[in-house]
Amino acid sequence: MDLRHVSSRALASQKLKGYEKRYIIYENLSVEDVWKMTDIDYWVMALPNGVAMPWIDAIKENGNNESLMIDLSADYRFDPEWTVLRNGGSNWNSTP
């Protein structure tokens, strides 16, 4: 995996420590920023429960449905469109 973007309100403008492939600075990405990103292959959402939905909806709405999405929250855990991660075989995965 080759990271290109890491978002955090608390760590915005700081260097991502421990990642040596490239120089990465934390960004504070908005839903609108994410909507514009149509060239991302993999998304990992690690947001609190109930918070990921607007970002994931933006990714779905921008036509980038080929991206692999992993949501670590419980937001989509029981959504029939999402596959529980351990089963694989889907672009939309939620953790059990």
pLDDT, one tens digit per residue, over 20-76 is: 999 999 999 999 999 999 888 888 888 888 888 898 888 888 876 677 888 888 777
Number of domains comprising the chain: 1
75-84 confidence digits (pLDDT tens): 777 777 776 5
**Domain that residue 78 falls in:** 40-94
Any domain includes 62: yes
What whole-number distance in Å separates Cα of residue 7 and Cα of residue 13? 10
What whole-number distance in Å separates Cα of residue 93 and Cα of residue 96? 9
Any domain includes 24: no
Count Cβ atoms below 10 Å from residue 64 Cβ, excluding itself. 19
Give the strand order in the sheet containing 42-45: 42-45, 68-71, 92-94, 83-84
What pTM was estimated for this model as a whole? 0.73
Any domain includes 14: no
Q: Which residue has the tokens 């403008």?
A: 13
What whole-number distance in Å separates Cα of residue 8 and Cα of residue 41? 20
